[in-house]
Amino acid sequence: MTLTKKMMTKQLEYLIIHCTATPIGRIVTKEDIVAWHTDPKPRGRGWSKAGYSDMIDIDGKLVNITPFDQDDDKEAWEVTNGVRGINGVAHHIVYVGGCDARMQPMDTRTPVQKGALGIYLKYAVLRWPNIKIAGHNYFDAGKACPSFDVAQWCRAIGLSENNIL
Ligand SMILES: [Zn+2]
């Protein structure tokens, strides 16, 4: 690694969980998310990249949205736009759902989504032993995202306190 590259990369610190904030039962695809985030305003948000590295769809399937590698550095090409201000040190995962039929926050995770998310978090901890897992709402108190208590759920599935923000 060149010195220049080393100076530009940052150590990955957080794994942040999001929801798509869509009503229970609605199918959302990778293409939907990329369009919402990167289409020019007012159709989309006009971001340069999508907000997440991976998503867990309504069937519990893991879908990659933005490529990333295995190491502890977050390089520019891996960065996603999930939470302004910390994206350079964060990895973002989203599950599809998070609202009830009237668009109020609700933990809509199905058993297969919970199963997939649990495996995802446990594998992430193996890969990045010092990572701290958090919900989007830890960094933005005005948001309900991801519509469940991340710390409580991480404890319930047996993750170490070291990996819970
Ligand atoms: Zn979010």
> How far apart are the CA of 146 and the centre of ligand 1, in A?
6
Q: How far is the CA of 97 from the centre of ligand 1 (A)?
A: 11
Distance between Cα 17 and ligand 1 center (Å) = 7
Q: Ligand 1 mean position to 59 CA, how many Å?
A: 20
Q: How far is the CA of 161 from the centre of ligand 1 (A)?
A: 22
- Looking at residue 102, its pLDDT comes to 98
User: How far, in Å, from the CA of 129 to the mean position of ligand 1?
Assistant: 23
**pLDDT tens readout for residues 69-91:** 989 988 899 999 989 899 999 99
CA of 1 from ligand 1 middle (Å) equals 33
What is the C-alpha to C-alpha distance for residues 33 and 69, in angstroms, rounded to an integer? 21
Cα dihedral: 77, 82, 85, 91 (round 10): -60
The confidence score (pLDDT) of residue 1 equals 47
164 Cα: distance to centroid of ligand 1 (angstroms): 17
Record the pTM: 0.93
Going from the Cα of 72 to the center of ligand 1, the distance in angstroms, rounded, reads 22
pLDDT mean across residues, the chain? 94
Distance 144 CA to ligand 1 centre (A): 8
Q: What percent of the chain has pLDDT over 90?
A: 87
Task: Convert the chain into a string of H (helix), E (strand) and C (coil).
Answer: CCHHHHHHCEECCEEEEEECCEECCCCCCHHHHHHHHHCCCCCCCCCCCCCCCEEECCCCCEEECCCCCCCCEECHHHCCCCCCCCHHHEEEEEECCEECCCCCECCCCCHHHHHHHHHHHHHHHHHCCCCEEEEHHHCCCCCCCCCCCHHHHHHHCCCCHHHEC
Ligand 1 mean position to 3 CA, how many Å? 34
What distance in angstroms lies between residue 10's CA and the mean position of ligand 1's atoms? 22
Measured CA to CA, the distance from residue 30 to residue 21 in angstroms comes to 14
CA atoms 93, 26, 35, 136: torsion sign = negative
